[in-house]
Amino acid sequence: MSLHLYDTSTRAVREFVPLEPGRASIYLCGATVQAPPHIGHIRSGVNFDVLRRWLLRSGYDVTFCRNVTDIDDKIIRVAATEGVPWFVVAERNQRAFTWAYDTLGCLPPTVEPRATGHVPEMITLMERLIERGHAYASGGDVYFDVVSYADEYGKLSNQKLENMRPAADTDDESCKHDPRDFALWKGAKPGEPTWPTPWGPGRPGWHLECSAMATKYLGPTFDIHGGGIDLTFPHHENEIAQSQAAGDGFARYWMHNGLVKIGAEKMSKSLGNSLLIPEMVQKVRPVELRYYMAVPHYRSSIDYSEEALREAAAAYQRIEGFVTRAAEVIHDVDADAPLPQAFVDAMNDDLGTPQALAVVHEVVREGNVALARGDKEAVARLLAETQNMLDVLGLDPRSPQWRSAGSDLKPVVDALVAVALEQRTAARARKDYAAADAIRDQLAAAGITVEDTPHGARWELSH
């Protein structure tokens, strides 16, 4: 089975056939950097990182563009509240997002354009739209004329133009031909940043930014456009309208990830339930948080709870435990070992991570049995399969990404623990079990778990 993906625009699972054989181009709507990231923001980054990794594993050369919206109404409002320049807010929060993506193991994008660096491309796009009769200037603003594109507008979100509400993206709706027209460019206001254009100084509208950046780096037509399901309308609908009305083919597949919710409510800063990433990685390790977000299917919603987070962490630790124990027996893992067919089928079926991870757990169970019976040949095969599957998901505990920050001290810790374990072994040999247990308890108090195995005592840091 070849890769099939759910395409929002056709509301169907379609075979992925790239524009150019062997190459895949992806544009992901990245952060609007008015606030630091919570897990609702970063879920999109994790889900599309899994897509990218699967495409790479499947042999594609992938160009991955993830933008930064660094000028926006919300950023300006936050800056005004704090009494700082807008770019201070944008830069501070962009760094927080970059840290969060890196902390959760997302591969760096091929290119990460900022909106403020692409105003010339936005001006060119507006000029093309005005020339074609799909946009107009009014009072220093520039608007997209939705009626001029009425036959196509609304198809992505499955809406009819007559049922749509006003765009509500300007203070003075009288400047518009139709209240549903959306702003491509917003004329200058006192205290706001501005850039010069043929229609006067001002700043870009949100939707215009993404169309200009996507086509600059991926071309007028590209393979996949991704983002959260909440962006389908109006953001992605407007991107399609302005891009195709200007003559670009734009995205051939539209993919949307589900939201993270608490109860029935979408996570948001205003609701005070933001669960910021620095706080989350104090509750569980970053790799366990990634596992928590990767387990559900990307199109499903996640109803956050502490219990579910703990369960995910425990499930990952079971996988990690097998990999760690097996690696002590098998030192060279075959990175080119084939993936289990059931895993491949699951991933090719619209990135079916729940089914794919079920395969991982089944292989781990087999691996533990092989370890128990001392079957090194089976252990080698099952360890290779496990690590290769985890690599696709960005969850391999032996990858450099997930080595602890204190890994440089491991030789020192190894030596100190080895001395303690020798003392414990000697105590057990002379049947001084109280002393042996005391040594084990002291190690546990220091965060070191000791496990007695047929091959001798082994240790690991407690989670």
Angle at 270 between CA 267 and CA 272, to 5 degrees: 70
pLDDT of residue 23: 98
- Is the domain defined by 4-257 classed in CATH 3.40.50.620? yes
Residues of the chain with pLDDT under 50: 405-409, 412
Q: Where are the domains positioned within the chain?
A: 4-257, 302-402, 407-461
Smallest Cα–Cα separation from 368: which of 315, 311, 318? 318
143 to 134, 156, 186, 231, 439: CA distances (angstroms)? 9, 20, 9, 20, 73
Give pLDDT tens digits for 245-264. 999 999 999 999 999 998 87
- Reading phi first (left if > 0) and then psi (alpha if -120 to 50, else beta), residue 251 is in beta
CA 107 centroid distance within chain: 9
Smallest Cα–Cα separation from 361: which of 339, 330, 386? 386
Q: Are 65 and 111 in contact (CB under 8 A)?
A: yes
pLDDT of residue 461: 64
- Is the domain defined by 302-402 classed in CATH 2.40.50.140? no
**Pairing of the two strands 250-257 and 221-228:** parallel
Residue 145 backbone dihedrals phi, psi, to 5 degrees: -90, 100
Place of tokens 């994008």: 109
In whole angstroms, give the CA distance from residue 381 to residue 373. 15
pLDDT of residue 344: 98
- pTM to 2 decimal places: 0.88
Smallest Cα–Cα separation from 193: which of 89, 269, 113, 93? 89
Residue 383 has a CB neighbour count (10 Å cut-off) of 26
Residue 324 backbone dihedrals phi, psi, to 5 degrees: -65, -45
pLDDT of residue 273: 57
Residue 108 backbone dihedrals phi, psi, to 5 degrees: -60, 140
Percentage helix, strand, coil for the chain under 3-state DSSP, each rounded to 5: 50, 15, 35
pLDDT of residue 458: 66
In whole angstroms, give the CA distance from residue 49 to residue 103. 13
Exposure b/e, 133-149, CB count within 10 A at least 16 = b? ebbbbbebbbbbbbebb
